[in-house]
Amino acid sequence: MKILVIGGGGREHTLVWKIAQSPLVEQIYCAPGNPGIAELAECVHIGADEIDALLDFALAEKIDLTVVGPEVPLTMGIVDIFQTAGLEIFGPNKAAAQIEGSKRFSKDLMARYNIPTAAYRSFSDHAQAVAYIREQGAPIVVKADGLAAGKGVIVAMTEEQAIAAVDEIMLDQVFGDAGASVVIEEFMDGEEASFFAFTDGKNILPLASSQDHKRVNDNDEGPNTGGMGAYSPAPVVTDELYQVIVDTVVKPTIKGMAEDGCPYSGILYVGLMIKDGKPRVVEYNARFGDPEAQPLLMRMRSDIVPVLQACARGELQQNSIEWYDKAAVCVVLASGGYPAAYEKNLPISGLDEAAEIEDLMVFHAGTALKDGLIVNQGGRVLGVTGLGDTVRDAIDKAYAGVKVIHWDKVHYRHDIGARALNR
């Protein structure tokens, strides 16, 4: 098989790494890829949002299966375009990708099908949004309706913070068109977890549990990011709770999407808040999480390619995934200053040394090759992912890798996985 993976971040490096292990695969291409991916696949200099060029490439190379990593091409309708051209592609079509592309769409879906979530209202009028905040009080959550690269959610502890967030989103347009409208939600406290399931639009195949760390600094302080680290399994998701999530969230979501005339195929990512053993949905995403993909796919023993293909064909019959009986922890190394401004093109040292560590993978996210050196190019630069018999062992393995990698102003959290240890 020839496979094309679309994207160039840590999630895509992880997908390429896992796909490369399949005996079914002869050749992997990745567009645009990154220096880490280039060790496993042929990188093609086409952006993830250049859909016409991607289609031309896939047709010319007779690609057997395309796997879409990021959300932007999904919301642009890449799946519809590839399918119309007779190509197999993994991911939801444009209508179904609204589950991530519009917070309002997803909240309305949850309301229609009684899927547990926070109370909410959506607004396209600034004055009405502000009036609602004054009426509800704080803490309260303000979300840009559209895609904002994981940064369009503001948890406001005061009314002033909430109103300032609405001003930034709707008036200053810090997230561009994504902020034309906002969703304002009841504040939910508890412990977050990430839950993933493969689906062909009818059948589901849930993955192991995982937990992300959104805030930029230790102890969950500082602004939200795309994710500073993750681990799997997540002890907060007990066996009993796992089944509750499948029955009350995942199944009604997939059934509801089908009933609404936009069946959802691909991987469904559900961000959850767990309190008193009960899950509520924070958000949906239409693709693998980054950095959750790193520990999840490190732990996955099964061949991923037949699953991706079955979802794309609407023929998902598999009812379980084999996992290594181990824990995995991913620590994200970020550029100093992220999620705000940061310096680029700083040389990274220690990658060869990290590559020598057993049961450790360094997944490239925001890297580039410049004058023969690997340099930082994005906010989240590397996902250092360790495998161990316990979460403690996996934490130690990941931080052993972190210890040998360096560039000027590198930033990372020191407490990834701590919540699992506290349990």
Q: What is the mean pLDDT of residues 224-245?
A: 95
**Average pLDDT for residues 311-334, to the nearest whole number?**
96
Residue 174 pLDDT > 90: no
Q: Which residues pair with 370 in a beta bridge?
A: 373
Please report, to the nearest 10 degrees, the dihedral formed by the alpha carbons of residues 236, 241, 247, 251 taken in order. 20
Helix (H/G/I), strand (E/B), else coil: 135 = helix
Q: Which residues contact 360 (CB under 8 A, 6 or more apart)?
A: 354, 384, 385, 386, 387, 397, 398, 400, 401
Tell me the per-residue pLDDT of 192-217, one tens digit each, with 9 for 90 and over.
Answer: 999 999 999 999 999 999 999 999 99
Helix (H, G, I), strand (E, B) or coil at 24: coil
Mean pLDDT, the chain, integer: 95
Q: DSSP state, 68?
A: E
Instruction: Determine the average pLDDT of the residues in 359-368.
Output: 98
- Per residue in 249-272, pLDDT (tens digit) is 999 999 999 999 999 999 999 999
Q: Can you tell me whether residue 207 is helix, strand or coil?
A: coil
Q: How far apart are CA 166 and CA 119, in angstroms?
A: 18
Give the integer Cα–Cα distance in Å for 24 and 379. 34
Least confident of 77-81, 127-131, 293-297: 127-131
Q: What is the pLDDT of residues 64-89, one digit of tens each?
A: 999 999 999 999 999 999 999 999 99
Domains, the chain: 2-91 (3.40.50.20), 125-180 (3.30.1490.20), 191-313 (3.30.470.20), 327-422 (3.90.600.10)
pLDDT band per the 50, 70, 90 thresholds, residue 172: confident
Bridge partners of residue 406, in order along the sequence: 349
The alpha carbon of 179 is separated from its chain's Cα centroid by a whole number of angstroms, namely 21
Which of 123-127, 363-367, 402-406 shows the lowest mean pLDDT across its residues?
123-127
Section 108-132 average pLDDT: 93
- Token duo for residue 33: 């890829």
Reported as a pLDDT band with limits 50, 70 and 90, residue 160 is very high
Residues above pLDDT 90, as percent of the chain: 88
Helix ranges (H only) for 35-119 are 51-60, 71-76, 78-84, 94-101, 103-112
Residue 115 per-residue DSSP state: -
Predicted confidence at residue 147, as pLDDT, reads 83
Q: How confident is the model at residue 61 (pLDDT cuts 50, 70, 90)?
A: very high
**What is the predicted pLDDT for the residue at 287?**
97
Reported as a single tens digit per residue, the pLDDT across 373-412 is 999 999 999 999 999 999 999 999 999 999 999 999 999 9
At 150 the pLDDT is 65
Residues whose CB falls within 8 Å of the CB of residue 352, separated by 6 or more in sequence, listed in order: none
Provide the 10 A C-beta neighbour count for residue 347. 14
State the DSSP code for 73. Answer: H
Alpha-carbon distance 366 to 279, whole Å?
33
The whole-number average pLDDT for the span 295-300 is 98
Measured CA to CA, the distance from residue 132 to residue 369 in angstroms comes to: 49
Distance CA(90)–CA(287), nearest Å, equals 10
Radius of gyration of the chain measured on its C-alpha atoms: 20
Across 200-245, the runs of DSSP E, i.e. the strands, are: 204-206, 211-212, 215-217, 221-224, 229-232
Average pLDDT over residues 137-145: 91
* Distance of alpha carbon 397 from alpha carbon 247, whole angstroms: 35
The CA distance from 361 to 366, in Å, is 16
For the cut 70, the answer to whether the pLDDT of residue 361 exceeds it is yes
Does the pLDDT value for residue 37 go beyond 70? yes
Question: 232: which strand partners?
Answer: 328
Residue in the block written with tokens 């896939």: 58
Provide the pairing of β-strand 2-7 with 65-68. parallel
